[in-house]
Structure formats: structure tokens, C-alpha cells
């Protein structure tokens, strides 16, 4: 069931709200940036995301094909979400589920996790190793 969650960066300058069904799955990827940041995400369409405050605090990092906007707080450094566009999905947000403020540990622990081999551009299959993600 979709619920409205509120999330924020570490210092609280960046705050957002999103509609999300954690039971529909989350994902972890072994690509260069997800593995270094240990990014645990849930994808939502653009209309299910609302930035409540902190637009002026967001810095952006892009690399490679530069199609994903990695947005982090310039004060505390936390990336609470990224945004991008995929043909199948349209505009989307990748929520850092670790930045959700009103979710119980038990709820996060029960959320299914799909592992993706982004390092080899194969997001549809899991990598050989997943425990380190
Ligand atoms: Zn911050």
C-alpha cells in the first residue's frame, strides 16, 4: 500500500515528501556511485515526489552519460534522492530510503531488495556478489 513518507538530509536543510509502497520493492546496485555511497533506493515517478524545502542547498553531480542528477546537500553532504528520466518510466526520483524519517526499522527491514548489476549495465540481473552492497 502506498504511503506518504517524509525524508530529509542529515542537517535537515533538504526536506521532501514522497508516495511510496515499500512492499513493492527497493533496490541496491553495484555501479560506481551506488556502491561507493551504499545507495539504497526506491524509485517513484515524478508526480509522487515533492521537494518541501532546500532547493537552494542542493548541489548536483553528474557523470558518465550524465542522465542521472545526483543531488546532495551542500551543507551535510547527504544524497537523499536523485532524479532522472527513463523511457519506460518517464521522469523519476530515486529515493534514498535511509533518508526517510518516519519509517520504522522493521518496515525497512521487511522491504524486498532487488540487487542490480549496474556495474555491467545489467540492471535487470543481480551481480555475482550482493552482501557488500
Ligand atoms: Zn543537509
Q: Give residue-wise pLDDT tens across range 37-77.
A: 999 999 999 999 999 999 999 999 999 989 999 999 999 99
Element (H, E) at 20: strand 15-20
Quickly state the pLDDT bin for 89 (edges 50, 70, 90).
confident
Of the CA atoms within 13 Å of residue 77, those in its CB half-sphere come to: 1
Q: Tell me the CA–centroid distance for residue 120 and ligand 1, in Å.
A: 31
Per-residue pLDDT, averaged over 81-90, amounts to: 93
Cα(76) to centroid(ligand 1), Å: 4
Q: Give me the sheet containing 113-116, strands edge to edge.
A: 58-61, 68-73, 81-86, 90-96, 40-45, 26-29, 113-116
- The whole model's pTM is what? 0.94
- Around ion ligand 1, residues with a beta carbon closer than 5 Å are 9, 11, 13, 73, 75-76
Please state the rounded mean pLDDT for residues 81-105.
95
88 C-alpha to center of ligand 1: Å? Answer: 31
When pLDDT is averaged across residues 83-91 and rounded to a whole number, the result is 92
The pLDDT mean for the chain works out to 95
CB-based contact 39:29 (threshold 8 Å): yes
The total of other beta-carbon atoms located within 10 Å of residue 40's CB is 19
Q: What is the per-residue pLDDT across 98-116, written as a single tens digit (0 to 9) for each? A: 999 999 999 999 999 999 9
Distance 59 CA to ligand 1 centre (A): 11
The answer to whether the CB of 85 falls within 8 A of the CB of 91 is yes
100 beta partners: 7
Amino acid at each position: 500500500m502506498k504511503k506518504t513518507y517524509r525524508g530529509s538530509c542529515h542537517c535537515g536543510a533538504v526536506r521532501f515528501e514522497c508516495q511510496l509502497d515499500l512492499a513493492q520493492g527497493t533496490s541496491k546496485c553495484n555501479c560506481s556511485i551506488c556502491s561507493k555511497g551504499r545507495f539504497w533506493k526506491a524509485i517513484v515517478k515524478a508526480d509522487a515526489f515533492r521537494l518541501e524545502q532546500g532547493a537552494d542547498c542542493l548541489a548536483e553531480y553528474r557523470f558518465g552519460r550524465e542522465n542521472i542528477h545526483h543531488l546532495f546537500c551542500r551543507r551535510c553532504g547527504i544524497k537523499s534522492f536523485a532524479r532522472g528520466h527513463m523511457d519506460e518510466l518517464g521522469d523519476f526520483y530515486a529515493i534514498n530510503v535511509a533518508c526517510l524519517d518516519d519509517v520504522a526499522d522493521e518496515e525497512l527491514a521487511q522491504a524486498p531488495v532487488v540487487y542490480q548489476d549496474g556495474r555491467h549495465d545489467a540492471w535487470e540481473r543481480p551481480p555475482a556478489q550482493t552482501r557488500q552492497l
